[in-house]
Amino acid sequence: MKNLALIIATGASLVLPAHAEEPAPIPSPGEIVAAAPASDWIAIAPSDLLVMDMAPDAKGKERRVVIQLMPAPFSRGWITNIRTLAAAHWWDGTSVNRVQDNYVAQWGDATEKKPLPRGLETVAESGYEVDEPSGFTAPGLPLHYQARPSDPSPAKVGGHIVFRDNPGWNYGSFYRGFPYVGAMNPHQSKIWPIHCYGAVGVGRNMSPDTGSGAELYAVIGHATRHLDRNVAVVGRVVSGIEYLSSLPRGTGSLGFYEDEAERVPIRSIRLAGDLPASERPKFEYLSTESGSFARYAEARANRRDPFFNKPAGGADICNIPVPVRPGR
């Protein structure tokens, strides 16, 4: 790998072996992912991919952001609404209106006057959490209530990696490609999706409003975990987050663009399944129920590849991004 070799030889750059191609004595997280068998990768259904095409940038470059919607049982009401909005082409001609540094990029109707399509659900605040279904985790791999606050994290439970959550009384894990958290309470079995980098959530008014799904944001900074259970998480960006995260920051209150000309036009948002087959983006994620993912997560928490001297012994659940690659 020419680039890396140059860096090592001259010593002037920060070397990060996640992308290194030479086999390391102990595999890096990236090498574990690269070695995962095809059977550990899961194709994302076209009905679960939301494709946002922004106007090209000043140099004419296309800007496509692709979002994976969360699986059941999470956030169903909002996700139904988002599919309705996409089918109605409601976002076409709207814009990215707010970019707040180390926080969120937000899009929707800046005029706040565009009529919503018929048939949107009003989702109750109770929808921020869901009951943990029986059989939620892979058969034979009981996951919950097994990570005690006194355990160093991540703990291995039945082949899964279980992360203790900040602030320690909850546990965290992954389900079908998404991080979630549950209460460490045997009398309660609620779980909820969380705000990591790239998470997509639903803007709302003050309680009891929960938002329709028409106003969306993506996290472009440190995980905004204080929003968990306060705002609905509906998915995560699997491609093109850089087209949101590198936008100029808004100078108005909360990072809103003050000048209309600063807004970034959205040409269209569609479900991939509604695009012609030849235009559908395809992505796969590394099954979070696979052994490859468990090894990857463990390696993220305990970096032993050559660059690192001191493995951390644990990792924030939001520092274990779920690997995604183009599909076939």
Segment 247 to 266, residues that bind a second copy, using CB under 8 A: 247-249, 252-254, 256
In the complex, minimum distance from the CB of residue 87 to a second copy, in angstroms, rounded to a whole number? 20
Long-range contacts of 202-205 (CB under 8 A, 24+ apart): 202/78, 202/231, 202/232, 202/234, 203/106, 203/108, 203/231, 204/231, 204/232
Task: State yes or no: residue 226 binds a second copy (CB under 8 A).
Answer: yes
Task: State yes or no: residue 109 binds a second copy (CB under 8 A).
Answer: yes
Give the residue, chosen from 12, 38, 261, 277, that forms a contact with a second copy under the rule CB under 8 A: 12
Task: State yes or no: residue 104 binds a second copy (CB under 8 A).
Answer: yes
Task: State yes or no: residue 6 binds a second copy (CB under 8 A).
Answer: yes
In the complex, minimum distance from the CB of residue 111 to a second copy, in angstroms, rounded to a whole number? 9
> Given the complex with a second copy, which of 177 and 201 has the nearer CB atom?
201
> Given the complex with a second copy, which of 50 and 244 has the nearer CB atom?
244
Contact 90, 77 (CB under 8 A): no
Return d(Cα 2, Cα 242) in angstroms, integer. Answer: 25
Amino acid at 304: R
% helix / strand / coil in the chain, to the nearest 5? 25, 25, 50
Question: Edge-to-edge, what's the strand order for the sheet holding 283-286?
Answer: 41-43, 283-286, 324-326
In the complex, minimum distance from the CB of residue 248 to a second copy, in angstroms, rounded to a whole number? 6
Task: State yes or no: residue 300 binds a second copy (CB under 8 A).
Answer: yes
Closest CA to 147 of 139, 155, 137, 135: 155
Task: State yes or no: residue 228 binds a second copy (CB under 8 A).
Answer: yes
Return d(Cα 279, Cα 169) in angstroms, integer. Answer: 45
In the complex, minimum distance from the CB of residue 185 to a second copy, in angstroms, rounded to a whole number? 12
Q: How many chain residues touch a second copy (CB under 8 A)?
A: 90
Q: What CA–CA distances, in Å, run from 26 to 128, 291, 301, 309? A: 40, 17, 14, 13
Task: State yes or no: residue 298 binds a second copy (CB under 8 A).
Answer: no
Q: What CA–CA distances, in Å, run from 159 to 30, 90, 154, 225? A: 20, 44, 12, 27
Give the residue, chosen from 62, 133, 188, 222, that forms a contact with a second copy under the rule CB under 8 A: 222
> Given the complex with a second copy, which of 13 and 47 has the nearer CB atom?
13
Over the window 166 to 205, marking each residue x when it contacts a second copy by CB under 8 A and - when it does not, the resulting string is xxxx--------------------------xxx--x-xxx
Give the residue, chosen from 144, 236, 263, 303, that forms a contact with a second copy under the rule CB under 8 A: 303
> Given the complex with a second copy, which of 40 and 81 has the nearer CB atom?
81
In the complex, minimum distance from the CB of residue 46 to a second copy, in angstroms, rounded to a whole number? 25
Task: State yes or no: residue 229 binds a second copy (CB under 8 A).
Answer: yes
Residues between 39 and 68 that touch a second copy (CB under 8 A): 58
Give the residue, chosen from 118, 207, 277, 279, that forms a contact with a second copy under the rule CB under 8 A: 207
E strands, 38-167, are: 41-43, 49-54, 63-69, 95-99, 104-108, 130-131, 155-157, 160-164
Residues between 63 and 102 that touch a second copy (CB under 8 A): 98-102
DSSP letter at 49 equals E
Q: Token pair for residue 130?
A: 């869901």
115 CB-near residues (< 8 Å, 6+ apart): none
Task: State yes or no: residue 24 binds a second copy (CB under 8 A).
Answer: no
